[in-house]
Amino acid sequence: MSKTAVITKINTICSLGIGFDALKKNIAKEIIPTKIQNFELFDLPSEQYIYTAPDFEPKDILGKKGLRTLDKATKILMSAIETGFKEFLEALPDNERPGLMVGTAFGSIESIGNFITDSVRFGVNSVNPGLFGNTVINSPAGNANIRYDLKNLSGTMATGLTSGLEGLIYTCDHIALGYLTSILYAGLEEASVYQFAAAMNEKCLSPDEKMRPFAQSPLGYILGEGTGVMLVENKSFAQKHGREIIAEISGYASGFDPNGSNFGYNSEGDVMEYVIREALQKAKVTSEDIAFVSASANGTNGDLAEAKVISRVFGDKTPVACYKQKFGEAWGASGALCVAAAIADLQKKKVSPIYTDGYSKIDGINLVRKQELAIEKDHALVLSFAPDGNCAAVVIKINK
pLDDT at 15: 98
Q: What count of other Cβ atoms lies within 10 Å of the Cβ of residue 2?
A: 13
Asked if domains 5-247 and 249-398 share a fold, the reply is yes
Mean pLDDT of the chain: 93
| CATH architecture classification, 249-398 | 3-Layer(aba) Sandwich (3.40)
Range among 6-10, 206-210, 266-270 with highest mean pLDDT value: 6-10
The pTM of the full predicted model, rounded to 2 decimals, is: 0.96
The 8 Å CB, 24+ separation contacts for 308-313 are 308/267, 308/268, 308/269, 308/364, 309/269, 309/272, 309/273, 309/276, 310/364, 310/365, 311/364, 311/365, 312/273, 313/273, 313/276, 313/277, 313/287
- Give residue-wise pLDDT tens across range 320-361: 999 999 999 999 999 999 999 999 999 999 999 999 888 889
Who contacts 96 (Cβ-Cβ below 8 Å, separation ≥6)? 182, 241
Residue 28 pLDDT greater than 70, yes or no: yes
**What does the pLDDT average to over 244-251?**
97
pLDDT at 65: 87
pLDDT at 261: 66
Residue 262 pLDDT greater than 80, yes or no: no
Quick one: DSSP state of residue 263?
T
pLDDT at 379: 98
Which of 329 and 114 is assigned the larger pLDDT?
329
Q: What count of other Cβ atoms lies within 10 Å of the Cβ of residue 66?
A: 11
Residue 1 pLDDT greater than 90, yes or no: no
Superfamily of structural domain 5-247? Thiolase/Chalcone synthase (3.40.47.10)
Which of 218 and 260 is assigned the larger pLDDT?
218
pLDDT at 64: 87
- Give residue-wise pLDDT tens across range 45-67: 999 999 999 989 999 999 988 88
Q: Pick from 314, 276, 322, 328: which is nearest to 295 by CA? A: 322
- CA 251-254-256 angle, to 5 degrees, is 165
Contact between 28 and 180 (Cβ < 8 Å): no
**What does the pLDDT average to over 108-132?**
80
User: Per mean pLDDT, which range of 22-36, 126-140, 369-383 is the poorest?
Assistant: 126-140
**What does the pLDDT average to over 200-225?**
94
Q: DSSP letters along 281-327, please?
A: HHTT--GGGEEEEE----SSTHHHHHHHHHHHHHTTTSEEE-THHHH
pLDDT at 130: 76
pLDDT at 135: 80
- Give residue-wise pLDDT tens across range 171-194: 999 999 999 999 999 999 999 999
Write down the domain spans for the chain: 5-247, 249-398
